[in-house]
Amino acid sequence: MIPDVAPIVSLREARRDYALGAERVHALQGVSLDVERGDYVAIVGPSGCGKSTLLNLIGVIDQPTSGTVTIARKRVDAMSDREATSFRLHNIGFVFQRFYLMPILSALENVALPMAEAKVPAEERKARAAELLAYVGLSSRQRHRPSELSGGEQQRVAIARALANHPALLLADEPTGELDARTGTEIISLFRRLNSDGTTIVVVTHDEDLANAARHKVHMLDGRIVDA
Amino acid sequence: MLAVLGVAVAAAMLLDMVMLATGMRESFRELLLSQGFDIRLAPKGTLPFDTDATIPGVSAITSVLRTNPDIREISPVLGGSIHIPVGALDVSAAVLGIDPTVQGDYEFLSGQDVTTPDAIVANDYLLQKLGARFGDTLDVAAGYDPQTRTYSGQRKLVLTGKVRFIYGATEQPSAAVRRETLEAMGGGARRDRASLFMVRVRKGANPDSVRNWIATEIPNVSAISIATAIAQVDQRLSYFRQLAFILGAVSLFVGFLLVTTLVTVSVNERAGEIAVMRAIGVSRAHVVQQIVVEGLATTFIGALLGLGLGLLTARYLNSILSAFPGLPVAIDFFLFQPRAVWSALGLLIVSGIAAGIYPAWRAASLPIAESLRREAIA
């Protein structure tokens, strides 16, 4: 079997403009970027430089005004909503600054949620969710609701949820932003372990420790990559 | 919780209005059917006991009616009033002259029925006013002149039993004697007259055909079948029904707006959560389904509470309204019928589904990236 050597993420001259009242905001101004399989990339830069916009394009939750975005050899920049939803479900895992777990579901049920959406059989998704919670060190907290978990534990549940459907790519937007330093360090270690186990990670962060843990850093300023 | 209570109040009001819209009609229908008489004959152009008018020629009318093989029983009833002196006081009461073997005007409770011409039975209210017991002899008069304090058509009658008048008004002292007794007390003016005929048709016969036959054969009476009586009552109650319909529609609309507003607020508050769900691959259809189910659940729980609350308030309001003077005791304004509950529940569920559609559409249309950016800024 020939290994897939094409970049898992490839952006070419991606631009993203927003209308802000009467003004036009140029959030991304012709960004080109490749992320290799198995890589761990941290996108850094000052607030408003376009980091999250870039992550949204890579995560197929937004589309570029112009340019191309290819993820796992598939052009995603002009997908319909239905195609993009299905693509995200099967190829991309998201971790956000706020954990956004479903408050009425247990940790296990939260992790199983994307698998239910992907119509994975109930027994299989229960086993996989338990396995993922064990991976993030929360075997004993399966039945707990989010309100019964600490911030760090909730973020680990969110990471387990992001991994549920074996995504090719894990995207994280300020994943340590709402955590204290010690809990943040635990999440950084978990990301490192995930990457060494083969998960491709792209993370947007202001956290220097998290950025330093990545294999590569991409610096952005005013909607452009200034140093990769 | 407040949302559920709000829906419960709207649901209670809706149920009450549905019960009110149909209650009096159904209650009246049940009342008419309760004694098994299918047709009433009243003086031409009137409803039974609507006026003091009477029908002359009871014997002749009875003979004509007996020629129709579809007619099983005929009960002529003569109405009027009586006066009974109790010490220095005059106690007046409504009275019915009936044939005890075919009467359908009262339920016999205790003692003996009016089996002899000098017997009188009374309702509880009259018995209390008279302070009389079974076996007491009463001086009963058909007329009383308050100026001269003189009685006319007086006769001694023996109190034999206690009855409950089915069509009697609330707190109306009432009595019944044999029709021939009341005719005799009224002198010549009441001889061979009746205020009403009640007619029972043979099983399997069509009451409307018999009614039409009576209308042709005895043109000086109004023949009223249960259907026509209900139609006439319907006509008189149309303002009541319209009011109930409007108030019911308003409460349904208020419930709808309440659920729509609350679910929309909930969607706005959870915009970030919904955007994340969409980001991790949850389809628009599932988001819509979830929000509609949320609206429906709020409506359903509120409706269940509201139906209980509605039944309690209906019972309370019914007790107030039924105490209005002049209304038959057996008439209910709010009549409990399973159909009314199902109708109210059905309307609420449909409105609950409709109420969830707008917020569900909003939730499904949320731009994911934009919502996440707003959440991050917030």
Edge-to-edge order in the sheet of strand A9-20: A23-35, A9-20, A66-71, A74-75
pLDDT in tens, B197-214: 999 999 888 988 999 999
Sign of torsion over alpha carbons B67, B70, B75, B76: negative
Lowest mean pLDDT among B127-136, B230-239, B244-253, B302-311: B230-239
Mean pLDDT, residues A58-76 taken together = 93
* DSSP sequence for B230-273: HHHHHHHTHHHHHHHHHHHHHHHHHHHHHHHHHHHHHHHHTHHH
Cα→Cα distances B91→A101, B83, B166, Å = 79, 6, 22
Evaluate whether B310 touches A137 at the Cβ level (below 8 Å).
Answer: no
pTM above 0.80, yes or no: no
Evaluate whether A84 touches A60 at the Cβ level (below 8 Å).
Answer: yes
- Taking an 8 Å cut-off on Cβ atoms, the answer to whether B280 and A102 are in contact is no
Interface test with A, best of B372, B373, B375 (most A CBs within 10 A): B372
- Taking an 8 Å cut-off on Cβ atoms, the answer to whether B283 and A82 are in contact is yes
Could you say which of A98, A113, A165 has the minimum Cβ distance to residue B272?
Answer: A98
pLDDT at position A1 is 54
- Is the pLDDT higher at B364 or at B377? B364
**Triad B214, B218, B223: Cα angle to 5°:** 50
pLDDT in tens, B307-338: 889 889 988 988 888 777 666 766 778 877 78
pLDDT in tens, B168-197: 776 789 999 999 999 888 777 778 889 999
Q: How far apart are CA B31 and CA A144, in angstroms?
A: 61
- Chain centre to alpha carbon of residue B325: 15
Lowest mean pLDDT among B70-74, B327-331, B340-344: B327-331
- % of residues, chain B, pLDDT over 70: 97
Q: pLDDT category, A228, cuts 50, 70, 90?
A: low
Mean pLDDT, residues B81-96 taken together = 89
Angle, helix B368-377 to helix B271-279, in steps of 10 degrees: 130
Q: pLDDT category, A202, cuts 50, 70, 90?
A: very high
Contacts of A69 in chain B (CB under 8 A): none
Q: pLDDT category, A86, cuts 50, 70, 90?
A: very high
**Triad B353, B359, B364: Cα angle to 5°:** 110
Q: How far apart are CA B161 and CA B116, in angstroms?
A: 12
- Taking an 8 Å cut-off on Cβ atoms, the answer to whether A93 and B280 are in contact is yes
- Taking an 8 Å cut-off on Cβ atoms, the answer to whether A88 and B279 are in contact is yes
On average, the pLDDT of chain B sits at 86
Interface of A with B (CB under 8 A): 52-53, 56, 59, 61-62, 81-82, 85-86, 88-90, 92-94, 96-98, 100, 102, 113-114, 117-118, 161-162, 165, 173-174
Cα→Cα distances B353→B133, B226, B304, B358, Å = 63, 40, 16, 10
pLDDT at position A67 is 94
- Taking an 8 Å cut-off on Cβ atoms, the answer to whether A88 and B281 are in contact is yes
Q: How many Å lie between the alpha carbon of A217 and the closest alpha carbon of chain B?
A: 22
Length of chain B: 378
3-state secondary structure of A9: strand
- Taking an 8 Å cut-off on Cβ atoms, the answer to whether A100 and B272 are in contact is yes
pLDDT at position B31 is 78
Structure tokens at B58: 């009871």
pLDDT value at B5 more than 90: no
Say if strands A169-173 and A200-204 run parallel, antiparallel, or are unpaired.
parallel
Neighbours of A18 (CB within 10 A): 16
pLDDT in tens, A129-181: 999 999 999 999 999 999 999 999 999 999 999 999 999 899 999 999 888 88
Give the N- to C-terminal CA distance of chain A in Å, as an integer.
31
- Taking an 8 Å cut-off on Cβ atoms, the answer to whether A61 and B368 are in contact is yes
Interface test with B, best of A100, A113, A115, A206 (most B CBs within 10 A): A100
pLDDT value at B162 more than 90: yes
pLDDT value at A4 more than 70: no
Q: pLDDT category, B92, cuts 50, 70, 90?
A: very high
- Name the residue among B123, B125, B99 with its Cα closest to residue B109: B123
Edge-to-edge order in the sheet of strand A200-204: A92-95, A169-173, A200-204, A40-44, A216-221, A224-227
- Taking an 8 Å cut-off on Cβ atoms, the answer to whether B369 and A53 are in contact is yes
- Is the pLDDT higher at B106 or at B375? B106
Q: pLDDT category, A2, cuts 50, 70, 90?
A: low
Only one residue has tokens 């009246």, namely: B28
Interface of B with A (CB under 8 A): 272-273, 276-284, 286, 368-369, 372-373, 375-376
Q: pLDDT category, B378, cuts 50, 70, 90?
A: low
- Is the pLDDT higher at A224 or at B329? A224
3-state secondary structure of B308: helix
Evaluate whether B359 touches B263 at the Cβ level (below 8 Å).
Answer: yes
- % of residues, chain B, pLDDT over 90: 25
